[in-house]
Amino acid sequence: MVQGVGAARLRALVNHFGDPESVLAAGEKQLVSVEGIDRGLARRILSRGDFEKEVQVQLSRLNKWDANLVTFWDSDFPENLKKIYDPPVMLFVRGKLSPSDKYSVAIVGTRNPTTYGKHVAEKFAAELSEQGIIVVSGLARGIDTLAHMTTVRSGGRTVAVLGSGVDVIYPSENRRLADQILMGGAIISEYYMGSKPDAVNFPRRNRIISGISLGTILIETDINGGAMITAGSALDQNREVFAVPGSVFEKKSRGTNKLIREGRAKLVEDITDVLEELKYRLKPILKRQTPPPPKIQLTIFEQKVFELLTEEPEHIDALGERCGIAISDLLVQLLSLELKGIVKQLPGKYFVKCE
């Protein structure tokens, strides 16, 4: 609340003195010994201003909305977010943060998606949820809303990052969705309770969306869309960026297509593309999937014999009569099918299908 003390200086002060109480108990000489703190700033810290009054307002609102304040130094502060260049010092939280949030993937995009964009957003969100991956987005209209809504419907966990106070749901039509998110997820913001959704807040909000996630999926955005800022933040944070290709005739695809063309984002057509790229980081939670057995290629003659066989043993003479194939030729086909593991020979020249 002191003009000139941002997140970086606050971290420096707490790291120097050990805890916030010691910062406030320090004298001017001690404060100016910290890099970035001059006498003017030290005096503003010491003057305190109307701190206590504003603190009480914030605590009252936190209590009213059943929200919590989580700081950078708390054990439940999101693990991935601690590692970015400029993490927020405080997060206002409704719902609960979880250790599993380190297995998050963000889905962002345009506020006015096409039918194609809507379908992709719903498909990707549902499939991420099925894998136990947390879906992060910004609760905005369009792709964000679809990502949250589909995750909730799929029984998954989702985290919404706001560019306003957590008690100011924007857009207002998402208030019911916000309540649904809170049943198993969380709504978070670095902005004070009661903060309005000012335009200047959203670029900084976007760095939290990408920073809390292992990777960010972009689904439809123009070159100057807000999702492109999220992609830029993800790249700066050394996080993976995935882009869904779109029509060359669609303005909303210009941003995603540009990222792919420039090699700044990985082209994804299916959620397996994302899982493959993040498999080592997601390994602790990914559900094991049994790969489908390889399709066995059969010749025309092998196929004819195989289709006549059943799970009931049949003698080669009876099978030969039904096939209309000489026994010597039939034995060749049966041997080939046996080597492919789909036919078994029993004693007495009996054969069965073992698919």
Domain that holds residue 322: 300-353
**Structure tokens that stand for 290 in this block:** 């049994």
Any residues with CB less than 8 A from the CB of 219 and at least 6 apart, and which?
107, 108, 109, 110, 113, 117, 120, 121, 124, 143, 244, 256
Q: Residue 346: which pLDDT band, with cuts at 50, 70 and 90?
A: confident
- Could you tell me whether strands 134-137 and 104-109 are parallel, antiparallel, or unpaired per DSSP bridges? parallel
Q: What is the CATH number of the domain that holds 18?
A: 1.10.150.20
In a domain, 69, yes or no: no
Q: Give pLDDT, residue 53.
A: 86
* Rg of the chain, C-alpha, whole Å: 30
Phi then psi for residue 247, to 5 deg, are -65, 140
124 with 159, same domain? yes
Q: Read off the pLDDT of residues 266-323 as tens digits, 9 standing for 90 and up.
A: 999 999 999 999 998 998 888 655 445 567 888 888 888 998 888 788 999 999 888 8
Burial of 57 (0-12, 13-18, 19+ CB in 10 A): middle
Q: Report how far residue 222's alpha carbon sits from residue 272's, in angstroms, rounded to the nearest whole number.
A: 25
201 with 341, same domain? no
Burial of 12 (0-12, 13-18, 19+ CB in 10 A): middle
Percentage of the chain surpassing pLDDT 90? 74
* Total residues belonging to the chain: 355
Q: Give pLDDT, residue 290.
A: 42
Q: Read off the pLDDT of residues 216-263 as tens digits, 9 standing for 90 and up.
A: 999 999 999 999 999 999 999 999 999 999 999 999 999 999 999 999
Element (H, E) at 144: helix 143-153
Asked if 13 contacts 23 with a C-beta cutoff of 8 angstroms, the reply is yes
Residue 20 above 60 pLDDT? yes
Q: Residue 355: which pLDDT band, with cuts at 50, 70 and 90?
A: low
269 with 137, same domain? yes
Q: Report how far residue 106's alpha carbon sits from residue 124's, in angstroms, rounded to the nearest whole number.
A: 11
In a domain, 60, yes or no: no
Percentage of the chain surpassing pLDDT 70? 97
Report the pLDDT averaged over residues 146-160: 97
Q: Read off the pLDDT of residues 63-122 as tens digits, 9 standing for 90 and up.
A: 999 999 999 999 999 999 999 999 999 999 999 999 999 999 999 999 999 999 999 999
174 with 319, same domain? no
In a domain, 83, yes or no: no
113 with 222, same domain? yes
309 with 275, same domain? no
In a domain, 57, yes or no: no
User: pTM score, two decimals?
Assistant: 0.79
